[in-house]
Structure 1
Amino acid sequence: MARFIDIHPVNPQARAVSQVVAMIRDGALIAYPTDSCYALGCQIGNREGLDRIKAIRKLDDRHHFTLVCSDFAQLGQFVQIDNAVFRQIKASTPGPYTFILPATREVPKRLLHAKKKTVGVRIPEHTVTQAILAELGEPLLSTTLTLPGEDEPLTQAWEIQEALDHQIDAIVDAGECGMEPTTVVDLSGDEPEILRRGAGDPSRFE
């Protein structure tokens, strides 16, 4: 059974945050809330966690996994950014956007898009997520918690428990979270390409 961890949405309890981070470091796969919707997350180096995410969501090598980062400095360690891209991302973060960019050598090859060698990155505007990232000290390998065959992501902790109770290790419940996935923008080419329209206003990239 997945462990249920309640965290206050405005003033996250340090002890609860530490419990979540300890589980992540111990190899756990968690469901956690963000400013867009719930996500599945584990440590970057957790091979088993990656395989479990792929199995739950039935993903192939063309899927862009996302590194959920605490701030711009951390994001910059994992993707290549020129000045124009820097300005675009800086103006849109933190917020409900995922950006596809060429990865640096810091990113394990198994996380890269098979052909493009790119990876997704984002900086969420969510107090609990930021508290977890601050204590973890590194990005979370993540993907939106949308189950196979479903168009809408899961947005309630109890729904996730019913659906995935024996497939994940913990569910972080911080009350209401976003109801819509991030807007995904591919910035790896000459012009921005909107791959998914979601919670973030896409007009600034059109």
Structure 2
Amino acid sequence: MADFIKLYEENPEPRFVKRVVEVLRKGGLVIYPTDTVYGLGCDITNSRALEKIARIKGVKLAKANWSFICADLSNLSDYVKQIDTPTFKILKRALPGPYTFILPGNNNLPKDFKKKKTVGIRVPDNGIAHSLVEGLGNPIVSTSIHDEDEVLEYTTDPELIFEKWQNLVDVVIDGGYGDNVASTVVDLSGPQPVIVREGKGDTDIFY
């Protein structure tokens, strides 16, 4: 059964953060809050953990379109091709924030993502997500947790999330009620920004 750990966004308790980071390092799965919906994540470099998430989500790992949760823009050059100045200005303006940016991947992608031409990059404006990625020292791969209930697409109550996921993951973080609007997805891999999915966040800043 998963651990249920309470963390506060303003000052996440370092010893609890450390505990969650250890779980991620050992290939564990963690549900954690972002600045949009709760996410299911694991260490980007751990193949076994990635396979586990793919099984839970019912997708083939090679075909999965998951986001890389980064602490800030300094990680980008690890996974993304050289970014031009206009693109970098957009990223600077929007991040941290409720956006997922699709960018061209480079040759340094972890082995499970080698065949990907593009990757989704997220830098959430959330102290808990930020402290986990900082502690781990590399991005977390993340996917949203969906509900079967069509009306309520995303569960926002951490206790209900725990109830549902306790036997599938290793840690559920209670970071307070989540949002039920997903991130806005913006494709920056072409000459102009293209809004792929409108979610949380102002889209006017891209035009």
TM-score after normalising by structure 1? 0.91
Partner residue in 1 for 2:21 = 21
Structure 1 contact 57–148 (Cα < 8 Å) conserved = no
What is the 5 A alignment of 1:38-77?
38-60=38-60, 61-77=62-78
CA distance in 2, matches of 1:57, 1:121: 20
Structure 2 contact 54–64 (Cα < 8 Å) conserved = no
Residue 154 of structure 1 and its aligned partner are, at CA, apart by: 2.4
Q: Deviations over 1:72-121 (max 9, x none)?
A: 11123211222121111111000000001111222124236x6x611100
Give the letter aligned to residue 44 of structure 1.
Answer: I
Q: Deviations over 1:16-45 (max 9, x none)?
A: 000000110011011000001100110112
Gaps spanning 5+ residues in structure 2: where? Answer: none
Structure 1 contact 56–147 (Cα < 8 Å) conserved = no
Task: Report whether the alignment pairs 1:99 with 2:121.
Answer: no
- Computed over aligned residues only, the root mean square deviation of the Cα atoms, in angstroms, reads 1.9
CA distance in 1, matches of 2:176, 2:23: 21
Give the letter aligned to residue 11 of structure 1.
Answer: N
CA distance in 1, matches of 2:110, 2:149: 29
Give the letter aligned to residue 36 of structure 1.
Answer: T
Partner residue in 2 for 1:157 = 158
Residue 57 of structure 1 and its aligned partner are, at CA, apart by: 2.1
Partner residue in 2 for 1:33 = 33
Residue 202 of structure 1 and its aligned partner are, at CA, apart by: 1.8
Structure 1 contact 145–154 (Cα < 8 Å) conserved = yes
Instruction: Check 1:201–1:59 CA distance in 2 against 1; reply closer, same or farther (3 A cut).
Output: farther
TM-score after normalising by structure 2? 0.90
1:120 match: secondary structure: strand
Gaps spanning 5+ residues in structure 1: where? Answer: none
Give the ranges of 4+ consecutive aligned residues of structure 1 lying more than 6 Å apart after TM superposition.
none
Partner residue in 1 for 2:127 = 127
1:49 match: secondary structure: helix
Q: 1:82 aligns with which of 72, 80, 84?
A: 84
When structure 1 is superposed on structure 2, of 150-159 and 127-136 the one drifting more is 150-159
Q: Deviations over 1:137-162 (max 9, x none)?
A: 11111111124675712222112222
Q: Deviations over 1:38-79 (max 9, x none)?
A: 001101122122122222222355442111000111123211
Partner residue in 2 for 1:197 = 198
CA distance in 2, matches of 1:69, 1:16: 20
Aligned length: 204
